[in-house]
Amino acid sequence: MRKICISLLTLLFIGCLGVQAQSGLPLVYEVENTGVGCEAPPLPSPAQLINCPLLPDPFAWSDGSGRVETFDQWACRRNEIKAEIEHYEIGLKPGRPELITATLNGTTLTVEITENGETLVLTSTVVIPAGDGPFPVVSGMNSGVGSLPAELFVGVIQIPFMHNQVVTSSHQGVRDDNAPYFRLYPNLRHVGYYSAWSWGISRLIDGIEMVQSQLKADTKRIAVSGCSYAGKMALFAGAFDERIALTIAHESGGGGVNSWRVAETIGNVEKLGNTNYSWFMQSLKTNFDGRVGTLPYDHHELMAMIVPRALLVLGNPPWTWLGDEAGYVASRAVEQVYKAFDIADRFGFVFKHAPNHCVLSQTSYPIVQAFIN
């Protein structure tokens, strides 16, 4: 049984060893999860997990049988990380239901999802550029482009994900067990909202695919973007749906790009013991508060689920609560996964002073623009 515990310094050394790099890796996929047919990893009870105070090795198979050696094995390793995060942190994300319809009426996109005799409706006011297309698509969390400046997305269709249509966000940690999502899946009322929201974003993408000719959308160029709690939302969406080509996690803080382990060591920041437990399963706190080192993964591996697709991380160090030290360490770790597969240009991270929370520094504009381009 894994875990292989490694320091960041060790990972910087071994990240490029023992993995066969390949050129021409896909930029995006046409399916939500390429590893759906892979064997499930062992998922021990929390009491059976060993303490691993350093970062778990993202290349190590969950059963302790060795490490990923080729990119062709990555889909199954990614699926192991997915299963662990679902099991211990956010709860199961269901697959695509059979009954989904989508319509585009003027600038209103409507997606209807029916399951267990209940129907959930997603609506978005769409902004479509002038011209023939096909155009790339950005889905911002609760707005067309998230918290980024709209001028960075010239020539891009904007389709907001209105997350309250799935479950309403509560910054006080109050859960709504009668939310539209839980009426579809009453047996999932224990899951964290990031599981439900990730499902909702995937269903919005289903709808985009259904009306792509009307939208003039290029469904191989879909981006997600969000800031703060919505930065976590964008990150989980990009990690859990491989049809997303670019994920921009803007000041996502604890529970986002940050390593849970590192956050535990740096004072008054968002960490496993004090995050919002409507967003995550309550069992994450019950089982791992005070013993975060026994988690069989950490959030550098959540980010690594996006490999080989593009990921941009944006931080803002003066905002102490964000705990950017933990995000920086996790970013340096996932950087090695991208380097190991010879696609380092598909990952970027910027931890730079910005004038306010969720306000992009002017000096970061060219970096963000480069990833959008």
Active site residues: 228, 357
**Per the structure block, which two tokens stand in for 295?**
């988690």
Tokens standing for residue 322: 């964000």
Provide the pairing of β-strand 217-227 with 118-125: unpaired
Burial of 155 (0-12, 13-18, 19+ CB in 10 A): exposed
Q: How far is it, in rounded angstroms, from Cα 324 to Cα 176?
A: 30
Structure tokens at 42: 């062992």
Give the residue from 82, 100, 276, 283 showing the smallest Cα distance to 184.
Answer: 100
Q: Which residues pair with 68 in a beta bridge?
A: none
